Amino acid sequence: MIEKEGIKERENLLWILRETKNAVKKKDIVKIKELSNHTLHTASIHQDSESIAVAIITYALSKIIERRKYTYYKEWPSFYKNYLNNIEKAIQNLQKNDAEKFKEDLEKIRQEIGKLSGHFKKYIQDVFRKAKINKASRIYEHGISMEKTAKLLGITMWELAEYAGQTGISDVNLTVTMPVKNRIKQAEDIFR
């Protein structure tokens, strides 16, 4: 992703991560969700794991902050600090065009969950799982096959199909066509 698509995609991810960091500090949930959705466009086109990871990490963070439940856990301040530190490291390594360290920084954000305990750990794991499914449905909505989308995001096709069915994403009636008279008229208009 970083090598060939180069500067444009790297700059896009840098912008998203910087904006996310600022929005998190301000607890601007709407902005964080917008940034996550913006990342999906890149993820849908290039189907790269880095853009997908940034979309999931960003969206999950918006959900955590939105629910405010996180403030009741004693582990929150440490988790939050490490989350922001890893985003900052990801920004720095992306600026250096160090793809391997950038990927490591994204993985470290996910590894922070493993350091948690009890209900807080389960809560954060659940948020990340739902974020994956949500982002998978949005990528699927962009026209990527269900199988490929599920594989890209590490979820089952069943999870994706169930979520897509609940949201109406898959409610496209492919058997409905334009009436014959309208098709003939449209064809005639083309050749006039």
Condensed to tens digits (0 to 9), the pLDDT of residues 127-178 reads: 888 888 888 888 887 777 788 777 877 787 788 787 776 654 444 444 445 6
Q: Which domain holds residue 85?
A: 6-190
- Asked, for residue 180, whether it belongs to a domain, the answer is yes
pTM above 0.75, yes or no: no
Residues of the chain with pLDDT under 70: 1-7, 41-46, 165-178, 183, 187, 191-192
Number of domains in the chain: 1
- Asked, for residue 1, whether it belongs to a domain, the answer is no
Backbone angles phi, psi at 30, to 5 degrees: -60, -45
- Asked, for residue 58, whether it belongs to a domain, the answer is yes
- Report the alpha-carbon distance of residue 59 to residue 77 in Å, rounded: 19
| DSSP per residue, 77-119 | HHHHHHHHHHHHHHHHHHHTT-HHHHHHHHHHHHHHHHT--HH
Query: What confidence score (pLDDT) does residue 19 get?
Result: 93
- Asked, for residue 160, whether it belongs to a domain, the answer is yes
Query: What confidence score (pLDDT) does residue 172 get?
Result: 41
Query: What confidence score (pLDDT) does residue 178 get?
Result: 63
Query: What confidence score (pLDDT) does residue 171 get?
Result: 40
Query: What confidence score (pLDDT) does residue 182 get?
Result: 74
- Asked, for residue 73, whether it belongs to a domain, the answer is yes
